[in-house]
A and B are shown apart, each in its own frame.
Chain A
């Protein structure tokens, strides 16, 4: 919990300011520091640390670049020069209607038209980080709890808890069933929260999952939806990787499930989306909250005053996202490239004797190093993580920072580098595993 630092001379700071809840002292972030100090570069620093802990999508960046270069008009002030006046002054938290329409239509396309989105329900925020925090402010009070399946994105500890004062209670998932959420796990998490006198406000899932890199099956979605309906709580579905599913027919959005139920009980459901992953535009800070609940839409919209998207960014993206020809092509090509990368890395890891969870989405794979741990504990995991960082010079994310209940799993990102760099990383890992096996054999002989 928060550690209060006593300030002798000047007025103290808040607990929030000095607390450790931002989590930036965990290994997840320590690896980043190592990378920052010694980053890999093909030419200048071929022995540097390769960053495999950052889930960024750079594989399809050229498509966006090409589009903008050939559509210069879109990148400036739009067709009318007088468009500038409205643009510069525009600070309405509703956001540009054209942009909301474009967002809604893009979200529909990503789901293959299997669900419809209403632009009036789109609330804009400066990134998905802000969207998740905003929803948490709206749905829960300090001291309340949100149930989140493990393993989960390490940033949630910060985004959902830091300023909101809300707690996360994990829904434990196991490798025995590929880390899928089960009704028993849901119930047990709920009971655990209530036994600690915490009011459960909702369940937050990430679909496709980070760090698993896999979509949630329809059956499981239905079970989760039934559960939240029974308990009368909310369901937040963070679908930030929905455009990064390798085969479009393998993704089922909660929106589809709701539509098939004729939107019954949909007021408890909310979707978070962003362009940072699918479109590779994290710098633009574009996120949305899509809610089926009028009250939540209204409230979130007003609260979005704290995290608005610059009007000029909205204008630029509005024209790009409403260009259906471009978006269709982009989505298709992006999926293919990611799939290829995934296949490369999985094959490469297999050659090195490492298994991964069967994934079908995202910018990373969920790697299983448990057979290689000296001891099947968190410290065993961190030991091997440290070795990989120092000897192999790869920064990967240990499962413990994702609150995984089993030791030895790691998230390895593959989309934030060139193909060549990926090959380098894989060969390093291969060498390392080979060396280890040899050493082991040697030891067993002696």
Chain B
């Protein structure tokens, strides 16, 4: 049954539409309405404030391109009613009538259907119509007797998250994980880009060095337990600066005083978003991009993401025409673009930005006077060095060819050092204002001193780090080759320029129909029948259906044939 309720606003009254557009009421993808809370709370007009409607809109994946020609619009009725202006009100009544008419028709047709099979999990960002009716009705109903204190609309948007296949898959795989001996029928996790291949190296080092470390040389806890600078101990900053240089093969030197440590790359990205953009502003992000970015950027900051779609015909590389187009479209929508967020190497595609593209991006940012955030968290997971070179934004920052006040790097130890549990992320910036703000903002997400002490010693052991980087790189490369050739034997192609812990795989030949729906069905089959969790391209906002991200660093070598067999079963 149809899950999208569309209202086709006929172009009678252009004035009204113009006003609505200025208020952002015309997203290009269907709106995701906030589901009512789990118990049946009546939502009153007071609670469905303008804030609610605004956050609704920010739920839309604003596809900057591909605006459909006929105006498919979902008017967040409750919000619009609240919003002032008779002009707006004047458009509601015809909309509302039309809406209810549609509902009536749909209700009628549904009752004529055969008994419905359990509805499949909804596509991302669409809510079942029933809840919609409930919330609409509540406008005219008196305040509920339940009187439950409501949570904020920000919280409401957070609750909706897990419906996306990315999160559903992760959850399922963690509840029913594959284990060779105890659960051979379990789900093999290919959706989490973690690197388990070289954990033994880190483990060995830690076991060898641990006892003297936690307490420092003189076995005293002093200095570890007290408050310390929120942006990290300076010794760790120095160690991390050295590590980052090493990871990028000594091509760039990192200055420790421009480093800020956070409890993971997630808060690092969010913090930059808070610093560089106000609520209602936007960032341009080339798609496909990793699913968590939606959460990191949008959840609490109120900042929007505008997609800059990349295509397979370009090998998913960043196209400056697309950048300009996205920027202009944002402008038309009245959104102020504050910056561009790139990941290099790219997640999920795995390719590297070449020098030429980087310069074009820098020119673009200079022209528009905006920032660039470069997420380089997978920097040393680059496989073979003899292939394409990795150009870090830091190189540009050091060269001073461009104003480095607009350049910022996000980094972390979770990927390159396989230590996500330690929660260490890095913000690297020369912008004095960002630095000042960060020092204060980091109180909300600083790294445990215990973890810092431990890491100082580990990261300073450059012999170990060299060995680790070399062996890890070899293992990742080996696993990738095995995985890619395994897929090739099944007739499945991967993006050739793959880096990182995953393959960006083209399954478009196996989906029917050639659409998001077809892709979703394949994802489901892979999960339920093949017992494999992979990330479908739609979660990464890829505009071409059929692409999947498979992470292979969670596997052991001998599990690869099993994985291939399971994929074959599904196809």
A residues contacting B by CB (< 8 A) are 5, 7, 9-18, 22, 24, 54, 56, 58, 61, 64-65, 68-69, 72, 75-77, 81, 84-85, 87-92, 126-127, 129-130, 133, 137-144, 158-159, 162-165, 199, 201-202, 228, 232-234, 267-268, 280-286, 293-296, 298-299, 302-303, 305-313, 316
- In angstroms, Cα B279 to Cα A11, docked, is 16
Contact between A316 and B405, CB atoms less than 8 A apart: no
Known A88-B419, A127-B446, A307-B263; contact A295-B440, beta-carbon cutoff 8 A: no
Which residues of A sit under 8 angstroms from B221, Cβ to Cβ? 61, 64-65, 68
Tell me which of A17, A87, A89, A284 contacts B449 (CB under 8 A).
Answer: A284
Contact between B300 and A137, CB atoms less than 8 A apart: yes
- In angstroms, Cα B422 to Cα A316, docked, is 13
Which residues of A sit under 8 angstroms from B220, Cβ to Cβ? 65
- In angstroms, Cα B51 to Cα A325, docked, is 50
Which residues 137-183 of B have a CB within 8 angstroms of A? 147-149, 151-155, 158-159, 161, 174
Which residues of B sit under 8 angstroms from A24, Cβ to Cβ? 440
Contact between B446 and A285, CB atoms less than 8 A apart: yes
Known A77-B207, A280-B225, A283-B225; contact A10-B38, beta-carbon cutoff 8 A: no
Which residues of A sit under 8 angstroms from B338, Cβ to Cβ? 11-12, 14
Number of A-B residue pairs with CB-CB distance less than 8 Å in the complex they form:
255
Tell me which of A159, A165, A296, A308 contacts B263 (CB under 8 A).
Answer: A308
- In angstroms, Cα B224 to Cα A410, docked, is 30
Contact between B227 and A283, CB atoms less than 8 A apart: yes
Contact string against A for B residues 175-213, beta-carbon threshold 8 Å, 1 for contact and 0 otherwise: 000000000000000000010100100110011001100
B275 within 8 A of A: yes
Known A84-B206, A312-B421; contact A141-B51, beta-carbon cutoff 8 A: yes
Contact between A22 and B421, CB atoms less than 8 A apart: no
Which residues 448-486 of B have a CB within 8 angstroms of A? 448-451, 454
Contact between B433 and A305, CB atoms less than 8 A apart: no
B341 within 8 A of A: no
B423 within 8 A of A: yes
Which residues of B sit under 8 angstroms from A75, Cβ to Cβ? 211, 214-215
Which residues of B sit under 8 angstroms from A14, Cβ to Cβ? 274-278, 281, 338
Stretch in contact with the other chain, from B62-70, B78-86, B264-272: B264-272
Q: B148: nearest residue on chain A (CB-CB)? A: A267
Contact between A284 and B369, CB atoms less than 8 A apart: no
Contact between A69 and B155, CB atoms less than 8 A apart: no
Q: In whole Å, how far is B201's beta carbon from the nearest beta carbon of chain A?
A: 11
Known A13-B434, A17-B433, A310-B423; contact A139-B445, beta-carbon cutoff 8 A: no
- In angstroms, Cα B449 to Cα A267, docked, is 35
Contact between A10 and B369, CB atoms less than 8 A apart: yes
B105 within 8 A of A: no
- In angstroms, Cα B437 to Cα A24, docked, is 11
Q: In whole Å, how far is A53's beta carbon from the nearest beta carbon of chain B?
A: 12
Which residues of A sit under 8 angstroms from B446, Cβ to Cβ? 126-127, 285
Q: Pull 13 A–B residue pairs with CB atoms less than 8 Å apart, ordered by A.
A: A16-B274, A85-B199, A88-B418, A158-B440, A165-B279, A201-B152, A282-B227, A283-B450, A284-B225, A285-B263, A286-B448, A310-B263, A311-B421
Contact between A282 and B440, CB atoms less than 8 A apart: no
- In angstroms, Cα B447 to Cα A312, docked, is 11
Contact between B405 and A10, CB atoms less than 8 A apart: yes
Which residues of B sit under 8 angstroms from A303, Cβ to Cβ? 158, 299-300
B226 within 8 A of A: yes
Q: B38: nearest residue on chain A (CB-CB)? A: A295
- In angstroms, Cα B222 to Cα A56, docked, is 14
* Additional A-B contacts beyond A77-B207, A283-B225, A311-B422 (7; CB < 8 A): A9-B403, A89-B196, A141-B51, A141-B154, A142-B302, A295-B159, A310-B263
Contact between A307 and B444, CB atoms less than 8 A apart: yes
Which residues 248-282 of B have a CB within 8 angstroms of A? 263-264, 266-267, 270, 274-279, 281
Q: In whole Å, how far is B47's beta carbon from the nearest beta carbon of chain A?
A: 9
Q: A83: nearest residue on chain B (CB-CB)? A: B203
> Which 5 interchain pairs have the tightest Cβ spacing?
A311-B421, A283-B449, A310-B451, A17-B437, A10-B405
Task: Point out which of A58, A233, A293, A302 has the most chain B C-beta atoms below 10 A from its C-beta.
Answer: A302
Which residues of B sit under 8 angstroms from A286, Cβ to Cβ? 448
Contact between A306 and B270, CB atoms less than 8 A apart: yes
Which residues of A sit under 8 angstroms from B153, Cβ to Cβ? 141
- In angstroms, Cα B418 to Cα A91, docked, is 11
Contact between B159 and A299, CB atoms less than 8 A apart: yes
Tell me which of A85, A295, A308 contacts B423 (CB under 8 A).
Answer: A308
Q: In whole Å, how far is A52's beta carbon from the nearest beta carbon of chain B?
A: 15
- In angstroms, Cα B206 to Cα A76, docked, is 9
B374 within 8 A of A: no
Contact between B450 and A316, CB atoms less than 8 A apart: yes
- In angstroms, Cα B51 to Cα A111, docked, is 39
Which residues of A sit under 8 angstroms from B403, Cβ to Cβ? 9-10
B512 within 8 A of A: no
Contact between B214 and A76, CB atoms less than 8 A apart: yes
B234 within 8 A of A: no
Known A306-B445, A307-B445; contact A17-B276, beta-carbon cutoff 8 A: yes
Which residues of A sit under 8 angstroms from B215, Cβ to Cβ? 68-69, 75
- In angstroms, Cα B440 to Cα A89, docked, is 29
Tell me which of A72, A129, A202, A302 contacts B161 (CB under 8 A).
Answer: A302
Contact between B370 and A16, CB atoms less than 8 A apart: no
Which residues of A sit under 8 angstroms from B203, Cβ to Cβ? 81, 84-85, 88
Which residues of B sit under 8 angstroms from A162, Cβ to Cβ? 441
Known A68-B215, A87-B421, A91-B423; contact A283-B448, beta-carbon cutoff 8 A: yes
Which residues of A sit under 8 angstroms from B309, Cβ to Cβ? none
Contact between A283 and B49, CB atoms less than 8 A apart: no
B355 within 8 A of A: no
Which residues 509-565 of B have a CB within 8 angstroms of A? none
Contact between A56 and B226, CB atoms less than 8 A apart: yes
Contact between A139 and B451, CB atoms less than 8 A apart: no
Which residues 314-372 of B have a CB within 8 angstroms of A? 338-339, 369-371
B43 within 8 A of A: no
Known A56-B226, A88-B418, A137-B300; contact A142-B51, beta-carbon cutoff 8 A: yes
Known A13-B434, A69-B219; contact A88-B421, beta-carbon cutoff 8 A: yes
Known A84-B203, A138-B152; contact A313-B450, beta-carbon cutoff 8 A: yes
B568 within 8 A of A: no
Contact between B450 and A305, CB atoms less than 8 A apart: no
- In angstroms, Cα B423 to Cα A90, docked, is 10
Which residues of A sit under 8 angstroms from B431, Cβ to Cβ? 10, 13
- In angstroms, Cα B267 to Cα A7, docked, is 25
Task: Point out which of A159, A308, A310, A312 has the most chain B C-beta atoms below 10 A from its C-beta.
Answer: A310
Known A15-B278, A312-B450, A312-B451; contact A91-B420, beta-carbon cutoff 8 A: yes
